[in-house]
Structure formats: structure tokens, C-alpha cells
């Protein structure tokens, strides 16, 4: 059954964009510190507490009227209807004719989600229960390897959405000294697999192959390496006990030799799949309770997103800040700095989530996108990034909006202030800056002679006025992590709605895959690749 997508009203959209452009043009040079002084209650208005997270958007660049224009845009682009369409299981991913229903994966038992009119919640619950039961059996030592050994290590093989989410979850929540070692392999570079297998005993190692399609070149190559490694040490008839598949194509996983296969549906996008059995390795490593906590945190964010008016809706406001930066101020990049070692892979996760979702050149109807679409996203954990690229954030001519994700307590019983005080200081410095006069006066106050102070002042001045958002949480728990990741997912979706693009396909990764196959076949067959470009042919000649 097809559920209608929201109607498109080009005239209404154009009017809202015109108003947005006019306000953004007028306010281009507004200074954020002045907004904080001038707009009474700005911090309170732009601080939201949602599902264990506190978001402060008050240091974004929109003035009150700019925010109104952004909200007008969200209304005119029917964000409310689109979010309902997503939760109702309409074919939001229109180029592939698919529903997009990751919220169904994290809904509590008893939910009634439908994909294209077909009920899905019961099946989701069944697979979830089976997966958690299997994980708990491994943790308890009831499910053992071919030689009767307890499983002590899990090697998770997958790439892109089949890697980044689970890897982040494991890094964020893993105990310091886990009873079960969980290792990840994504790259087709055999070095990564060799590193992952080092020190492991095949008799106590479970290999989990995660691939939505079960056709991905890197994952299949790594799966073969791991299967060979197991086969060299284990009895042939026991191999299947050590190979688990997670896929939307379970037949292929079984054919490969997986003894257990957990499925998921095509309405789960790869980069939105960590809520499914794709995270089996984390469930084994962390336990079912932690996984259910992760789902509960995300589900709370789903409810907030669905039920809260646009003006106070966290993912919507985050998306509008980004649209304002990209469209209003032409800021084509954004940096994300998680101040928590456990979130060190968050920038990598967001790169796929945001750049694969919204890095598009055409709108929903196939016409060229005249608006920017998604910016470049990059980042490093704080404080490491401060000693690398923050110089450019502070003084470079390109203004890069920043996002600080701050965890108050990263390690039980330890003082978190040295970490979080840095985040606060960076956001403040980016916004306030320091004038040449202030820089000069500071140096003279510290005893420097006037001539030297004059010469150095331009080098030691900061333009300031660089927007940022801060997201705070007390601790990194399954619940707060789930809420954070769901926040980003919905933010990405809202941006796609405003830019009028399909955030759920990824045709842009296909061409490179096809060409890679051609080059590889030529290398293996010892002939020149069927590629005309002389540069590729010349490099091929040097490598083959
Ligand atoms: O890189 C493209 C992509 O298709 C991603 O969207 C996906 O997450 C990844 O490859 C892995 O795909 P699969 O899970 O099918 O192996």
C-alpha cells in the first residue's frame, strides 16, 4: 500500500526562502556576542533539555528574526508532514521506493509501525529477542565454539553503516577491561584484519559478518580471510558455530557458511542500522540491558522529535542552525569536537550520516539543487583537535561553525573539569575573539615594550563571531548515547527536507565501486584496465 508523501508547494517554499535570504543578508554582519547582550532571554530560549541532553544553540548566528525566518522555512517545507510520513512508513526514500523506519527498531515492545502499509513491529521484536538471547547465551558461556571453548573474542566485519555505528557504540560504552574482547575490521587492507586477529585463538573467537547487501567487496574479502583463519584451526563441521551473519540478504549469509543469521529489512538504511542486529557484537560485549538502554534513549528522542512543536524541537533547531550557516552565511563546512574519549569516532560516524545522506546535487524531482545541500563535516575529539586544526578555526579566513559535545563525567571518580573547561573555553574564544587593541593592551600589561606589542598585536588578535552549538550530558550512558545519535539522525533528515533532497539513497558511491571492480579484474588478469583515461592507466602500470 502506498502512503502519499507530503505535497510540494513550490510557491510557499520560494516565499519562505526569499524571506530567509532577506533576513540572512541583512544580518550577515551581526555579532553573536551582541545578540547575547541584546536579546533578553536568548540563552533560555535556545537552551533545550531533551532525553538527558542539554543543547545550547544561543551561540548560533541567527538573531531572533533569523530564527523566525528559519522556522517559517521549516513550516513551508512541511517538516511536520515529512516527519509524520517517515514514522508512518511512507516511501520517503523515493528513488528506491522504500520506507525509512529506523525508529521502529528502537520502539518499545508493543509498537505498531508499518512499512508501506505492512506491519513490521512484531518481526522487529522477534529478531531483537532472538539476538539478545543469543548474545546472552554467549556471555553466559552456554553457547560455545566448535571445540567446546567459551567465546572470548568477537571480530566484527563490516564497513560504512555496518561498521561506524557499532564501532562508536563499543568505544563509547565498553568497560575498561571487558570480559569479551570486541574487535572491528572494515578496511580491505589486509593489515587491519591481521591486526585484529593478532593474539586471538580461533577456538574462542566468534566472527560476525555484517552487511546489509552481503555483496560489499571489502566485507566479503575480509569475511573470506576470517573464515580461512578459522578453518585452518577448527574441525570443518564446527566452523559454522564461529560464523554469524547479519544481513538484509540472509540467504547470501547462509550460503557463505554462517551458522546463525540475523536479518533486517530493506527499510533500514545502512547508516541508520545500528539499532538492529547490526550491533550484535556490541550486544555480546555489553549485554542486552545496555542495548535496550541505547534503544530507549533513541526512542525518547524519537518521541520528542515527533511530538514537540518545531520551534522547540531539538533536531529541528539543530538543522535550522546548519541551514542558516550553509545558506545564509555560506559556511560550507562544520566541525564536531566530542569532548570525551569514548566519542572519538563520532566525527567519522557523522561524516557518513550527514555526507552520505545530504551530499547530493539534485532535488527530489531530479532537477539540479540550487541550494547548497550538506556541508563537509570533520572533527577530532577534544582536546586533541585543539592542538591540530583549531588554529584555523580561530584565525583562518574561512569561518567553520563548530559543535562541542561535552560529557561532564567521563570516568567514575575522576575530575572531569580539565576536559570540559577546555570545551567551554574554546566556544567562548571562538565567539568573543580578541581585538587588536585588546591584544596589544594585554601584552603591554604583561610588561612587553610598545613596539613589540604593536608588531605582534595583529598576530595575536582573533576575529571571533564564530558560531557554535554545545551539547552537554552528565555521563555517557546507553541512554544518552542513544538520544545523541537519534538527535543527529533526525537533524540530518530535517535538513534533507528543507533542501528538498532524498537523504536516504547514496547513488554517489556506486560509480567508484564499478570502476574499482574493473581495475581489480584487470590487475588479476594481467591486462590493461578498460579505462581510457591516461592518468589511471599510467598509475596502474606502476602498481600492477
Ligand atoms: O559506502 C556505501 C554503502 O553502501 C553504505 O551506504 C553502507 O553503509 C556500506 O556501503 C556498507 O554496505 P553493506 O552493509 O551492504 O555491506
Residue 428 bears catalytic tag: no
Q: Which of 114, 143, 354, 356 is catalytic?
A: 356
Q: Which of 112, 330, 513, 517 is catalytic?
A: 513
Q: What percent of the chain has pLDDT over 90?
A: 97
- What confidence score (pLDDT) does residue 478 get? 98
Query: 160-187 pLDDT, tens per residue?
Result: 999 999 999 999 999 999 999 999 999 9
- What confidence score (pLDDT) does residue 490 get? 98
Residue 242 bears catalytic tag: no
- DSSP secondary structure letters along 214-268: S--HHHHHHHHHHHHHHHTTS-GGGGGGGEEEEES-HHHHHHHT-SEEEE--TTS
- What confidence score (pLDDT) does residue 57 get? 98
Please give the Cα distance from 493 to 354 (Å, whole number).
Answer: 9
Q: Which of 387, 437, 474, 517 is catalytic?
A: 387
- How far does the centroid of ligand 1 lie from the alpha carbon of residue 338, in Å? 25
What residues contact 479, with CB distance under 8 A and at least 6 apart?
51, 52, 293, 294, 296, 297, 300
Please count the other Cβ atoms lying within 10 Å of the Cβ belonging to residue 122.
13
- What confidence score (pLDDT) does residue 416 get? 96
Please give the Cα distance from 91 to 85 (Å, whole number).
Answer: 8
Query: 71-112 pLDDT, tens per residue?
Result: 999 999 999 999 999 999 999 999 999 999 999 999 999 999
Where is pLDDT greater, at 504 or 373?
504
- What confidence score (pLDDT) does residue 529 get? 86
**In what helix (H) or strand (E) does residue 526 lie, and over which residues does it extend?**
none
- What confidence score (pLDDT) does residue 1 get? 59
Of 157, 162, 252, the residue with max ligand 1 atoms within 8 A of its CB, to mutate for a pocket test, comes to 162
- How far does the centroid of ligand 1 lie from the alpha carbon of residue 116, in Å? 23
Question: What does pLDDT average to over the chain?
Answer: 97
- How far does the centroid of ligand 1 lie from the alpha carbon of residue 160, in Å? 5
Residue 408 bears catalytic tag: no
Mean pLDDT, residues 35-50 taken together: 98
Mean pLDDT, residues 235-251 taken together: 97
Protein residues with CB under 6 Å of any ligand 1 atom: 159-162, 211-213, 216, 219, 270-271, 356, 506, 509
pLDDT over 90 at 139, yes or no: yes
Query: 269-320 pLDDT, tens per residue?
Result: 999 999 999 999 999 999 999 999 999 999 999 999 999 999 999 999 999 9
| pTM for the structure as a whole | 0.97
Amino acid at each position: 500500500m502506498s502512503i502519499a508523501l507530503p505535497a510540494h508547494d513550490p510557491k510557499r517554499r520560494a516565499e519562505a526562502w526569499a524571506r530567509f535570504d532577506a533576513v540572512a543578508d541583512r544580518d550577515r554582519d551581526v555579532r553573536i556576542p551582541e545578540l547575547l547582550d541584546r536579546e533578553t532571554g536568548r540563552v533560555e530560549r535556545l537552551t533545550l533539555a531533551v532525553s538527558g541532553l542539554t543543547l545550547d544553540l544561543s551561540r548560533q548566528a541567527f538573531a531572533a528574526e533569523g530564527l523566525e525566518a528559519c522556522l517559517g522555512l521549516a513550516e513551508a517545507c512541511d517538516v511536520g508532514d515529512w516527519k509524520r510520513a517517515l514514522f508512518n512508513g511512507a516511501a520517503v526514500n523515493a528513488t528506491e521506493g522504500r520506507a525509512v523506519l529506523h525508529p521502529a527498531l528502537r520502539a518499545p515492545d508493543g509498537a505498531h509501525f508499518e512499512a508501506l502499509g505492512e506491519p513490521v513491529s512484531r518481526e522487529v521484536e522477534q529478531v531483537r529477542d532472538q539476538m539478545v538471547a543469543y548474545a546472552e547465551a554467549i556471555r553466559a558461556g552456554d553457547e560455545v565454539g566448535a571445540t567446546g571453548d567459551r567465546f572470548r573474542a568477537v571480530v566484527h566485519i563490516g564497513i560504512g553503516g555496518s561498521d561506524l555505528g557499532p564501532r562508536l557504540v563499543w568505544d563509547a560504552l565498553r568497560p575498561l577491561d571487558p570480559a569479551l574482547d570486541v574487535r572491528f575490521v572494515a578496511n580491505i587492507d589486509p593489515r587491519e584484519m591481521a591486526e585484529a586477529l593478532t593474539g586471538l585463538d580461533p577456538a574462542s573467537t566468534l566472527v560476525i559478518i555484517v552487511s546489509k547487501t552481503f555483496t560489499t567487496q571489502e566485507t566479503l574479502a575480509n569475511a573470506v580471510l576470517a573464515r580461512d583463519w578459522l578453518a585452518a584451526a577448527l574441525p570443518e563441521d564446527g566452523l559454522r558455530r564461529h560464523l554469524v551473519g547479519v544481513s538484509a540478504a540472509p540467504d547470501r549469509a547462509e550460503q557463505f557458511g554462517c551458522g546463525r543469521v540475523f536479518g533486517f529489512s530493506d527499510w533500514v538504511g545502512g547508516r541508520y542500522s545500528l539499532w538492529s542486529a547490526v550491533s550484535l557484537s556490541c550486544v555480546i560485549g555489553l549485554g542486552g540491558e545496555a542495548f535496550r538502554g541505547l534503544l530507549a534513549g533513541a526512542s525518547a528522542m524519537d518521541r520528542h522529535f515527533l511530538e514537540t512543536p518545531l520551534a522547540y524541537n531539538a533536531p529541528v533547531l539543530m538543522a535550522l542552525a546548519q541551514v542558516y550557516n550553509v545558506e545564509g552565511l555560506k559556511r560550507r563546512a562544520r566541525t564536531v569536537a566530542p569532548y570525551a574519549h569514548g566519542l572519538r569516532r563520532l566525527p567519522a560516524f557523522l561524516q557518513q550520516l550527514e555526507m552520505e545522506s545530504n551530499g547530493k546535487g539534485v532535488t527530489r524531482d531530479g532537477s539540479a539543487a540550487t541550494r547548497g545541500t550538506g556541508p563537509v563535516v570533520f572533527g577530532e575529539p577534544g582536546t586533541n583537535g585543539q592542538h591540530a586544526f583549531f588554529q584555523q578555526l580561530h584565525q583562518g579566513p574561512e569561518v567553520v561553525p563548530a559543535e562541542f559535545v561535552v560529557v561532564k563525567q567521563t570516568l567514575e571518580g575522576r575530575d572531569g573539569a580539565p576536559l570540559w573547561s577546555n570545551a567551554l573555553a574554546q566556544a567562548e574564544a571562538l565567539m568573543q575573539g580578541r581585538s587588536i587593541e585588546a591584544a596589544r593592551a594585554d601584552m603591554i600589561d604583561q610588561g612587553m615594550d610598545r613596539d613589540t606589542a604593536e608588531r605582534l598585536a595583529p598576530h595575536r588578535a582573533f576575529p571571533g563571531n564564530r558560531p557554535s552549538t554545545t551539547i552537554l550530558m552528565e555521563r555517557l550512558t546507553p541512554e544518552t548515547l542513544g538520544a545523541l545519535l537519534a538527535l543527529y539522525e533526525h537533524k540530518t533528515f530535517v535538513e534533507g527536507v528543507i533542501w528538498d533532497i532524498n537523504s536516504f539513497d547514496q547513488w554517489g558511491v556506486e560509480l567508484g565501486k564499478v570502476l574499482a571492480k574493473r581495475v581489480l579484474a584487470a590487475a588479476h588478469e594481467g591486462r590493461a584496465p578498460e579505462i581510457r583515461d591516461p592518468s589511471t592507466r599510467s598509475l596502474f602500470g606502476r602498481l600492477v
